[in-house]
Amino acid sequence: MKYYSTNNKNEFVDFKTAVMSGLASDGGLFLPDRIPPLSKSFLDELSNLSTIEIAVNIADKFIDDEIENNTLQKIIEQSITFPSPLVELNESFSILELFHGPTLAFKDFGARFMARTMEHFIKDENEELNILVATSGDTGSAVANGFLGVEGINVFVLYPSGKVSKIQEQQFTTLGNNIKAIEIEGTFDDCQKIVKQAFVDKEIIGRKKMSSANSINIARLIPQTFYYFDAFKQNREKDNLIFCVPSGNFGNLTAGLFAKKMGLPVNKFIAATNSNDIFPKYLSSGIFHPKPSKKTYSNAMDVGNPSNLSRIIDLFNNDLDEIKSVIYSNTFSDEETLSAIAEVRNEFEYVIDPHGAVGYLAALDYKKNVTDSSRIIILETAHAAKFADVVEKAIGEKVIIPVRLEECMHKEKQSIMISNDYNEFKNYFIHS
């Protein structure tokens, strides 16, 4: 298996290079030169396989012999130590709970796998690896916790000041050790721009060994395919699957597209977005027009220039009609999000977070506008307690805070404030 840049299909690298560099030297994102198909017998036997067996089978297709099977199994066993249960709301909707990992967000799947994969690759090297990651919420805590204490790796988490929830901020600014929290005076898009600029900065490249832990890194996407197959295993219906994916940087949706191209019988994806509506507008106009992100209640989706859109366009050979045949999308406001949280609580006695609520709204919208009786699986990407202020505003009652979240709220915040000027960050990073 080789990987190419979305900016250049004629140059290829191996899996290790794609993971350790994060971003291609030309600024493009890595994609596999082919999406490896899974055999029909594997899909038929899925219900008899454990989560670990499913994951090893899938990951091995992307890695080939670069990590031997026993080591790969150990990496996955150490990474995926939590379930992703499928909960039925009614005959039309199910919730895939992806918040049972250490930081209570779906990004634990990718961050932990990536941390252990990188740890494996650098074990015989003398040079320290520096991980740069931009976060609008959950990525920072998942990556920070995934890499905490990993020898030879330093993590720099860039986040927009005042634009992540208090709980999210506490999860990655109180760890210390090899985790550095950088508070940027700006938006998530500013953070992401700084990270991307650093990766093509020749002076930094000459002085620092770097990689990214955002969903621009292919090692984040591969493990996110695992839970799509796990959902299929748990679902009563075994065909015409529809997944509704709360979407910001579109890594989660890209992983779902990988799963479909590998042979998972997915009929449709619903890309649920908040008022950062770049993708629905792209589907309707055919024009990708990035714009500054807006702050919303579903802040992990506050992305005005989604990186993974280039991967999606590439996977469909830039065929807009083909993209629209597979992906449905719509956008929803904060007011609608609050109403949806209340509706899900009242109708199903289920407490959903703001991102899942946007997913629920998009699923309802799809059922209203498309004649399709298939069950929709809504990805619930984070625990409601991570957004307690919003959820409590919607349902009028206190949200139970899990012990692991409660503990981090009493720790001391450790962060460095920097403006959104790239040169200020560069000066700090080079001398750190």
- Given a contact cutoff of 8 angstroms between Cβ atoms, the answer to whether 218 and 3 are in contact is yes
Residue indicated by tokens 């579903």: 298
For residues 346 and 340, give the distance between their C-alpha atoms in angstroms, rounded to a whole number: 10
The token duo for 350 is 């289920």
Question: Beta 30-32 vs 3-5: how paired, if at all?
Answer: antiparallel
Cα distances (angstroms) measured from residue 264 to each of 88, 229, 315: 20, 7, 16
Check the CA dihedral 337-160-166-249 and report its sign. Answer: positive
224/254 Cα distance (integer angstroms) = 9
CA 412 to the chain's CA centroid: 27
Active site residue 107: yes
Instruction: Please tell me the distance from the alpha carbon of residue 403 to that of residue 390, in angstroms, as a whole number.
Output: 19
- Which of 320, 184, 329 shows the shortest CA–CA distance to 246? 329
Phi, psi of 269 (to 5 degrees): -115, 140
DSSP-assigned states of every residue in 94-143:
EEEE---STTSBTHHHHHHHHHHHHHHHHTT--SPEEEEEE-SSHHHHHH
Active-site annotation holder among 107, 193, 196, 233: 107
Residue pair 305/29 in contact (Cβ under 8 Å)? The answer is no
How many C-beta neighbours within 10 Å does residue 94 have?
23
**Residues whose CB is less than 8 angstroms from the CB of residue 228 and which lie 6 or more positions away in sequence, other chains included:** 243, 255, 256, 259, 264, 266
Cα–Cα distance for residue pair 86/94, rounded to 1 Å: 7
For helices 51-63 and 226-234, angle between their N-to-C axes, nearest 10 degrees: 140
- Of 21, 28, 53, nearest in space to 38 by CA: 53
Identify whether the C-beta of residue 268 lies closer than 8 Å to the C-beta of residue 375: no
Enzyme catalytic residues: 107
